[in-house]
Structure 1
Amino acid sequence: MKYSINTLLYLGTICCFLLSSCKDNNTSPDLSSINLQRGELKLCGNGQFGEVNFSEFCSYETRETFNLAISLLHSFEYLEAEKAFVKLIDEDPECAMAYWGVAMSIYHGLWAPPDQSVLEKGAKLIAIAEKLPKSKKSEQYIEAIGAFYKNWETLDHQTRKEKYAQKMLEMYQKNKNDTEVAVFYALALRASALPSDNSLSKQREAGKILEELFKEEPNHPGIAHYIIHSYDYPELAPLGLSTARRYADIAPNSAHAQHMPSHIFTRLGLWDESISTNLKSVESAICYAESIAPGAHWDEEVHAMGYLVYAYLQIGNNKLAYQQYDYLKTFKEVFPANFKIAYTAAAIPSRLAVENKNWEEAANLELPQKLEIEWADFPWQSSLLHFAKALGYIHLDKLDFAQKELDILYSSKQKLENIKDSYKANQVAIQIKTIEAWIQLKKGNTDTALSLMISAAEMESKTSKHPVTPGEILPADELLADMLLTLNQPEKALKIYELNLERRPNRFNGLYGAATAAKKSGDLEKARFYFEKLITQTEKYNSERVEIKEAKEFLEHNFV
């Protein structure tokens, strides 16, 4: 069929009029009820957060901002990622993937479950994104994270994480050549793993996918980051070492990227590397905090400090460890006042006291109050301090006071069970068995004490540590070995100390305990091995720990 020029011009005018009318009648999404984070992006340094090339964006004009937002998201720079995605929304309210980006920025799959306000916000964002025009792949992304936010009133957190992971699996199977799809699937898979699953099958699968991607994209921040999270286990940590040594250089302006390698370094007992990377993380976090809220302290700074204290203790450097604690005590304003800050604020003083076996100090611990943390909201974190206090009272033969701390632990466990946080409830249950064991030991009930302590150690061996912590306040294995040594069973104690060192290489007290047990067993060569290792690990730090003096005296007396 042929048309005249006039007819074509007429039809074109009509089409333009109709399109214009549609556009004029198309109202922008109502965002008034959604608390979106806006403002200038605060990026310390020169804004290096790695290289990504995300396929789903709304316009070429905004592509650079979209890729930056994805890079920030991959290094868990959540606030800035949200602000970047909201900037895209403000520029183009019909950009469906920008709403997806905000929903992803408030979904912290590897951290604590979100509160109701976050879930409501996510559900609203997904509802808007679903109504906007989008590509098939964008639709799949939105449907996937939508599976986490929808029905949050009736479905538990773990179920919704698994639903999200399943949707991402389906998307991955249809888009195996898309790097970003594969990366987000691997993260969803890792986040859906149960802490009680000792097979680590999901972690291994995620790591395998990511390692293949890393060969092709060695500067991708998400790939490196999620490899570390996938291999943050004693059995898998060696697989993540080379990546851990790369990630900080890939995203040098991210405080979290500077910190994350220390997860692997801690697992492998590489204390110098852990200290170095966390000092850089603290520096980057301070830079960011000064740009956001001068005088306040960001949770990434506090988080890195917790790992610093742990590492300083393992090299016997009490001076630097206590300097971190003294610095923490000057903090008044922190942001956000979340589970990471609560954990570190309770863990640092507890760890300092019990690792040094300063039982008087342990018994007199108090929860920090200057940080304006609602401790009632953090029963697991506060239990760390009550656990340390109970150990202090037991060693000071103040069992009545120890019992009061034990009662608090029981109350914390009940609170966690009431909110169906089974992982943290189990962590407190391990503390409870441990304290009960040592109380029974003090009462002279040796068999009961050993039975309880063995049970605590078995429980802990079947449960992975939470990503927020560099390690237990005191490992149950180590405490079991300490008990055996107290009962004059050095041969059995040595076996447990060595098992503990397999799981937690180069722990100061583990090395000292193994050396002491070997010495009391008459195995002087093995005692020599562990004492020499302890001295080598601490020699360049001029440690003043009495254990180092004992180690040197033993070697001088027996092997000079």
Structure 2
Amino acid sequence: MKTILCCISLLLLAGCAGKQKAPGSGAINAMNLKKGKTILCGPADRQLGAVSFGISCSGRVRDDFNFALALLHSFEYDEAEKAFAAIIDKEPGCAMAYWGVAMSNFHPLWSPPNKQEFEKGKKAVDIARAIPGKSARETAYIDAIAEFYKDPDKTTHRSRCIGFEKAMEKVYTSYPGDLDAAALYALALNSAADPTDKTFSKQKKAGEILAAQGQNPSHPGIIHYLIHSYDYPPLAEMALPAARKYAAVAPSSAHAQHMPSHIFVRLGLWDESIFSNKVAADAAKCYAESAGFNGHWDEELHCLDYLVYSYLQKADNKQAKEQCDYLQTIREVFPETPKVIYAFAAIPARYVLENRMWEQAAALDPHAAGGVWENYPWEKAIIHFTRLLGNIHLNRLEAAREEHRKLNVLHDALLHKQEAYKANQVEIQLVASKAWILYREGKNEAALAQMEKAAIMEESTPKPPVTPCEVAPARELLGDMLLAMNKPALALEAYEIDLRDHPNRFNALYSAGLAAERAGNAGKATAFYQQLVKISAVQQPERPELTAAKLYLGKASNIRLSAR
């Protein structure tokens, strides 16, 4: 009998040791988790791709975990946190649910977590690590995200991203065949990539890892992060198959509808970009309404920037203007993020600059709903750069100098905030602005040297993902300056370089055709004008540049016919 009782006791002890100890309600409540019904705007059956992540939690939450993880892989961070929080409500001892909360507040390729998000993520990590009974694999995942939340007072966001990358590499190598480990390691590589590395070494490595998982074509993280890995002019073509597939794999994700347009814009595929962002903007409107926002969701404005830019490249001013007018009706956006303020600045700036509406550019005002613009120096700089270019082309030199002084103040503010990347973006505008001021002062050689410097700076700096394109590409501005100096052959070279990184840009195609025409290169002029007509929307009234291109092509055709 003693032997039997001993055996029973040992079995009970073993069973207790295998159970996960739930944290107290106080620790859970202190995280202040987002909760409520998960909101999705898409198919009723919540299609987010195929995810299957084995966890040691009970069977009743395993499907819930895969759903939450699929949301996370498509950057639906708020909804993912709510889904992980629902798991915690059901099973407080599920350690990986806290891992999910920490990951939901990291958002590595977007802006760094704010103070509240960081503290929430750190608390979630601490709880996850304290829960016993985890598998070795789960412990490895939790330890990896813990690297990001370590020593906030002694480390920078970038150094913590690198720490996460190195830890995820260990998970990836320790668990070959683990799709989520491969996906999240690739994401970590992208988040830790050096923005000045023009060899794109980490991004290429991430892409290779993801491409090797090709036998699993419906995993949202594999497809999504492949697009991010190749979201650069020299690499974009490699992401086109993924871009054309992602929206269909995760139709319930608004971000999955928009993200492919990053590649479409890189490749000048305007119709595909327009379709992608119209669907994504509609999904964002649906989300705001379903969530009960008193206004708009920030994702909608991000889509609008890409949408307006794409319409402008097709010379579809009617549709672009409709979106600009719609933007002016927006008064409240939730949350107020940098990408919201960027859209408020960039959309109207693009419209006036692309159309060379210099009076309107010189008078551009910040959007009334743009929050406190002083909190967003980089975004505010777009307004002053647009004003400067407007005044330059109106030959209002003193007004242009005043805008240049304001740009300097904003640049200094970014340096003071230790936002080096954004400060560099404004410095490019400063150098380009100085070049045009020198040009108006009659100092042509100095102006060209400055403009070439700005172009090189911009080409050595990766485009921020918040924007489809700079509001005025520096290499294109160099071409404009050379054309104004009656140096059409050199201008043509500048425009051709610009088109290498910005294929099918309307103004670059037209200007390249004009430069070729003035340089006596009829073959190139015809080719550029034909491409311009091909990408442009059929509408009345047409952009004057398009009318001029068609006139040239008509004359060239008549000359060829008469020569026969």
State the TM-score bracket (shorter-chain normalisation).
Answer: over 0.9
1:231 aligns with 2:227: no
1:488 aligns with 2:486: yes
The counterpart of 2:24, out of the listed 16, 23, 28, is 28
Aligned match of 1:321: 320
Taking the aligned partners of 1:417 and 1:378, their CA distance within structure 2 comes to 13
Aligned match of 1:50: 49
The counterpart of 2:38, out of the listed 37, 41, 59, is 41
Please tell me the residue identity of whatever aligns with 1:361.
Answer: Q
Taking the aligned partners of 2:155 and 2:497, their CA distance within structure 1 comes to 40
Aligned match of 2:169: 169
Taking the aligned partners of 2:17 and 2:307, their CA distance within structure 1 comes to 62
Please tell me the residue identity of whatever aligns with 1:272.
Answer: D
Aligned residue for 2:28, secondary structure, equals coil
8 Å CA contact 1:316, 1:543 repeated in 2: no
> Which 10-residue stretch deviates more, 32-41 or 234-243?
32-41
Please tell me the residue identity of whatever aligns with 1:270.
Answer: L
The counterpart of 1:520, out of the listed 507, 518, 521, is 518
Please tell me the residue identity of whatever aligns with 1:181.
Answer: A
Taking the aligned partners of 1:25 and 1:535, their CA distance within structure 2 comes to 67
Aligned match of 2:507: 509
Taking the aligned partners of 2:501 and 2:30, their CA distance within structure 1 comes to 49
8 Å CA contact 2:22, 2:93 repeated in 1: no
8 Å CA contact 1:440, 1:449 repeated in 2: yes
- Map Cα deviations across residues 414-449 of structure 1 (whole Å, 9 max, x no partner): 122222221111111000001110011011111111
8 Å CA contact 2:509, 2:532 repeated in 1: yes
Aligned residue for 1:44, secondary structure, equals coil
Aligned match of 2:530: 532
Aligned match of 1:219: 218
Q: Judging changes above 3 Å, is the alpha-carbon distance between structure 1 residues 18 and 469 closer, same or farther for their aligned structure 2 residues?
A: closer
Please tell me the residue identity of whatever aligns with 1:162.
Answer: I
- Map Cα deviations across residues 262-290 of structure 1 (whole Å, 9 max, x no partner): 11110100000100111111111111111
- Map Cα deviations across residues 53-78 of structure 1 (whole Å, 9 max, x no partner): 11235221101110010100011111
Q: Judging changes above 3 Å, is the alpha-carbon distance between structure 1 residues 293 and 484 closer, same or farther for their aligned structure 2 residues?
A: same
Taking the aligned partners of 2:139 and 2:9, their CA distance within structure 1 comes to 33
- Map Cα deviations across residues 437-486 of structure 1 (whole Å, 9 max, x no partner): 00110111111111110000000111110011100001000000000000
- Give the alignment of 1:293-308 within 5 angstroms: 293-308=292-307
Aligned match of 2:4: 8
- Map Cα deviations across residues 196-225 of structure 1 (whole Å, 9 max, x no partner): 110101111100111111x21111111111
Aligned match of 2:561: none
Taking the aligned partners of 2:163 and 2:22, their CA distance within structure 1 comes to 33
8 Å CA contact 2:186, 2:207 repeated in 1: yes
Aligned match of 1:420: 418
Aligned residue for 1:444, secondary structure, equals coil
- Give the alignment of 1:231-250 within 5 angstroms: 231-250=230-249
Taking the aligned partners of 1:23 and 1:516, their CA distance within structure 2 comes to 74
Taking the aligned partners of 1:226 and 1:297, their CA distance within structure 2 comes to 27
8 Å CA contact 1:57, 1:66 repeated in 2: no
Please tell me the residue identity of whatever aligns with 1:74.
Answer: H
Taking the aligned partners of 1:542 and 1:144, their CA distance within structure 2 comes to 57
8 Å CA contact 1:28, 1:94 repeated in 2: no
8 Å CA contact 1:289, 1:296 repeated in 2: yes
Aligned residue for 1:289, secondary structure, equals helix
- Map Cα deviations across residues 169-193 of structure 1 (whole Å, 9 max, x no partner): 1111111211111110010011110
Please tell me the residue identity of whatever aligns with 1:148.
Answer: F
Shift of 1:557: 2.5
Shift of 1:19: 7.9
Shift of 1:295: 4.9
1:278 aligns with 2:277: yes
Aligned match of 2:441: 443
> Which 10-residue stretch deviates more, 409-418 or 216-225?
409-418
Aligned match of 1:196: 196
Aligned match of 1:364: 363
Please tell me the residue identity of whatever aligns with 2:405.
Answer: D
Please tell me the residue identity of whatever aligns with 1:39.
Answer: G
1:334 aligns with 2:333: yes
Shift of 1:540: 3.1
Shift of 1:391: 0.6
Shift of 1:541: 4.2
> Which 10-residue stretch deviates more, 536-545 or 525-534?
536-545
Please tell me the residue identity of whatever aligns with 1:33.
Answer: A
8 Å CA contact 1:315, 1:541 repeated in 2: no
- Give the alignment of 1:326-405 within 5 angstroms: 326-371=325-370, 373-405=371-403
Aligned residue for 1:102, secondary structure, equals helix
Q: Judging changes above 3 Å, is the alpha-carbon distance between structure 1 residues 507 and 72 closer, same or farther for their aligned structure 2 residues?
A: same
- Tell me how many residue pairs correspond in the alignment: 554
Q: Percent identity among equivalent residues?
A: 46
Q: Judging changes above 3 Å, is the alpha-carbon distance between structure 1 residues 513 and 17 closer, same or farther for their aligned structure 2 residues?
A: closer
Aligned residue for 1:425, secondary structure, equals helix
Please tell me the residue identity of whatever aligns with 1:205.
Answer: K
Shift of 1:13: 6.9
Q: Judging changes above 3 Å, is the alpha-carbon distance between structure 1 residues 56 and 412 closer, same or farther for their aligned structure 2 residues?
A: farther
With structure 1 as the length reference, what TM-score do the two structures score?
0.95
Aligned residue for 2:428, secondary structure, equals helix
Taking the aligned partners of 2:314 and 2:259, their CA distance within structure 1 comes to 20
Q: RMSD of the alignment, in Å? A: 2.0
Q: Judging changes above 3 Å, is the alpha-carbon distance between structure 1 residues 26 and 322 closer, same or farther for their aligned structure 2 residues?
A: closer
Shift of 1:537: 1.3
Taking the aligned partners of 1:342 and 1:25, their CA distance within structure 2 comes to 45
Aligned residue for 2:171, secondary structure, equals helix
The counterpart of 1:452, out of the listed 450, 453, 467, is 450
8 Å CA contact 2:316, 2:537 repeated in 1: no
> Which 10-residue stretch deviates more, 457-466 or 280-289?
280-289
With structure 2 as the length reference, what TM-score do the two structures score?
0.95
Unaligned runs of 5+ in 2: 559-564
Taking the aligned partners of 1:397 and 1:124, their CA distance within structure 2 comes to 58
Aligned match of 1:145: 145
Shift of 1:300: 1.4
Q: Judging changes above 3 Å, is the alpha-carbon distance between structure 1 residues 147 and 15 closer, same or farther for their aligned structure 2 residues?
A: same
Please tell me the residue identity of whatever aligns with 1:97.
Answer: M
Please tell me the residue identity of whatever aligns with 1:353.
Answer: V
